[in-house]
């Protein structure tokens, strides 16, 4: 019951900030997340080496930014995607996504209960959303169920780092002092943007995340940290 309540609280928070979510993200990240998303798509397409892909799923799709990049980068590389699907538990986030991308499919669902058949997806991504999934191991098992053998899970996330030094101190100051205030000013919801740095501090390091993926049946094939370890990209292949 406690797990359910925690998850519902997170979903309500995203429902509340949905109207200002894109504006706040672009200001807080200064647009640098665009290059991270492009790298995730390009590297995955390079690894999958197919010119036709049946299904790309983006979990915790929010307002749909990552779906847009999957399609744009595929178009640039001459790759045909038959279907792109966005899944998110927040109804308000999905409403924003549908307005931005009326030609894509969207479904309201949790990462732990995907309304999809077994082994249907070639690529499954989750960008800056896995730390918001309370039952993470259950979600990874669902990912393993819906991804085809040889298919890929692509994770972009703010992973925890244990480094020290000046840059680390500056990053912590920005995350805990500056970011919540800017986010609160834009969204009128201080708690939501206080939650962001707190959720990063309470999350995993990249090696632990890789270990959990392996338990679910995925072998990590590519790991890349961006912007002094602010963000981490993991691409893992379903091996069983």
**Full pLDDT tens readout for the chain, 240 residues:** 688 888 998 999 889 888 888 787 777 677 788 899 999 999 999 999 889 999 999 999 999 999 999 999 999 999 999 999 999 999 999 999 999 999 999 999 999 999 999 999 999 999 988 989 999 999 999 999 999 999 999 999 887 666 666 666 776 666 667 667 877 767 777 787 777 767 767 677 888 899 999 999 999 999 998 876 778 999 999 987
pTM higher than 0.95, yes or no? no
Strand partners, 182: none
- According to CATH, the superfamily of the domain at 2-238 is Vaccinia Virus protein VP39 (3.40.50.150)
Boundaries of every domain in the chain:
2-238
Alpha helices in the chain (DSSP H): 2-17, 21-29, 33-48, 65-77, 91-100, 136-146, 166-173, 179-187, 190-201, 206-215
Q: Are 109 and 135 in contact (CB under 8 A)?
A: no
Q: Which of 89, 93, 87 is nearest to 107 (CA)?
A: 87
């Amino acid at each position: 019951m406690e797990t359910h309540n925690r998850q519902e609280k997170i979903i309500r928070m995203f429902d509340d900030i949905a109207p200002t979510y894109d504006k706040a993200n672009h200001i807080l990240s200064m647009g640098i997340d665009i290059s991270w998303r492009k790298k995730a798509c390009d590297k995955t397409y390079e690894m999958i080496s197919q010119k036709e892909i049946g299904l790309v799923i983006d979990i915790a799709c929010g307002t749909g930014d990552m779906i847009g990049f999957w399609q744009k980068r595929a178009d640039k590389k001459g790759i045909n995607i038959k279907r792109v699907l966005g899944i998110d538990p927040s109804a308000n986030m999905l409403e924003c996504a549908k307005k931005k991308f009326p030609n894509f499919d969207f479904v309201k669902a949790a990462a732990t209960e995907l309304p999809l058949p077994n082994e249907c997806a070639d690529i499954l991504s989750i960008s800056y959303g896995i730390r918001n999934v309370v039952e993470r191991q259950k979600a990874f098992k669902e990912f393993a169920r819906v991804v085809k053998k040889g298919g890929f899970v692509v994770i972009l996330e703010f992973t925890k780092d244990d480094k020290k030094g000046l840059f680390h101190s500056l990053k912590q100051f920005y995350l805990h002092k500056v970011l919540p205030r800017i986010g609160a000013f834009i969204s009128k919801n201080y708690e939501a943007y206080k939650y962001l740095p707190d959720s990063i501090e309470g999350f995993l390091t990249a090696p632990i995340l890789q270990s959990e993926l392996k338990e679910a049946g995925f072998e990590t094939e590519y790991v890349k940290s961006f912007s002094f370890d602010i963000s981490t990209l993991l691409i893992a292949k379903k091996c069983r």
